[in-house]
């Protein structure tokens, strides 16, 4: 697992639990790699490596460092899974998009036509595209800096369904009117006013899992809540299968993640 910051990542816990469940003698570790450092890290790998999981700020940096992109990585404009083939080919994939679809449908079968997304980075892109695949036709991106959301807006508007995408400031005062609200912003950016504006949205998708619960997640006691652990587990299951070629033990991986999070909350 590569990224910066990385110490909080549960990915090693999930993947190691999967390896243990299937009796695989594999290793999975976290490495802090800051922006601009991915190329140097890749140059130091030998043929014992099967793949890498990438988090921010490397998901878009990886686009120019692979030999081939899968269709979903190209659509998302981000790589969260980098496969290292035996012949040396680097393949960039994205399991966040299908992982988000699986996470949402595990929690709700409600029809979803409109979405409000807080934040405009790579995670907002992947979850937004997943929602469009599930039938959302209108997306409102609420961001602190509209200029930095350009890649997400372009990716969503390029979807063949012709989704309507609007961009607005995160700090507006009006209540959100949508079928689902997705938060990809830090917990400390979830002010009381912002959480209150989301109160009437029936489905809440909180992409964070640490700290947990975030203010938005804590407010969703009587609504459908899709959590960051749901997203993490489902995208990790897909990564596991790409890395190993074996069906992933979803139950064991989820249980390990939940146990680790519970330990953090009581520490």
Return phi, psi of residue 106, to 5°: -70, -30
> DSSP state, 176?
P
Helices (H), the chain: 11-22, 38-43, 71-76, 96-107, 122-133, 150-157, 192-197, 215-218, 228-244, 250-266
Q: Calculate Rg over the CA atoms of the chain.
A: 18
Rounded to whole angstroms, the Cα distance separating 112 from 131 reads 8
- Helix axes 228-244 and 250-266, enclosed angle (nearest 10): 140
- Neighbour-count burial of 120, counting CB atoms closer than 10 A to its CB (0-12 exposed, 13-18 middle, 19+ buried): buried
Q: Would you call 41 a catalytic residue per the annotation?
A: no
Task: Choose the catalytic residue: 59, 72, 197, 234.
Answer: 59
Element (H, E) at 140: strand 138-143
**Three-class secondary structure of residue 36 per DSSP:** coil
Closest CA to 170 of 189, 156, 188, 196: 189
Token code pair at residue 160? 């063949």
Closest CA to 223 of 181, 177, 265: 181
Catalytically annotated residues: 59
């Amino acid at each position: 697992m590569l990224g910066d910051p990385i110490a909080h990542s549960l990915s090693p816990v999930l993947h190691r639990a999967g390896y243990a469940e299937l009796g695989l003698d594999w290793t999975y570790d976290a490495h802090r790699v800051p922006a601009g450092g991915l190329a140097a890290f890749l140059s130091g790998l030998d043929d014992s490596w099967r793949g890498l999981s990438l988090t921010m700020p490397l998901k878009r940096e990886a686009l120019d460092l692979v030999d081939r992109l899968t269709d979903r990585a190209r659509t998302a404009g981000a790589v969260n899974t980098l496969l290292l083939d035996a012949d040396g080919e680097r393949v960039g994939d994205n399991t966040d998009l299908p992982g988000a679809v699986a996470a949402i449908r595990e929690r709700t079968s409600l029809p979803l036509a409109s979405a409000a997304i807080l934040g405009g980075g790579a995670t907002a892109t992947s979850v937004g595209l997943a929602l469009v695949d599930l039938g959302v036709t209108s997306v409102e991106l609420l961001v602190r800096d509209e200029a930095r959301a350009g890649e997400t807006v372009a990716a969503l508007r390029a979807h063949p369904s012709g989704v309507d995408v609007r961009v607005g400031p995160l700090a507006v005062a009006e209540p959100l009117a949508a079928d689902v609200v997705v938060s990809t912003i830090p917990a400390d950016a979830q002010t009381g006013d912002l959480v209150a504006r989301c109160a009437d949205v029936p489905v809440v998708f909180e992409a964070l899992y640490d700290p947990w619960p975030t203010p938005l997640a804590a407010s969703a006691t009587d609504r459908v809540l899709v959590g960051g652990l749901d997203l993490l587990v489902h995208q990790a299951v897909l990564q596991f299968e790409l890395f190993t070629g074996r069906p992933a033990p979803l139950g064991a991986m989820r249980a390990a993640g939940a146990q680790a999070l519970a330990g953090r909350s009581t520490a």
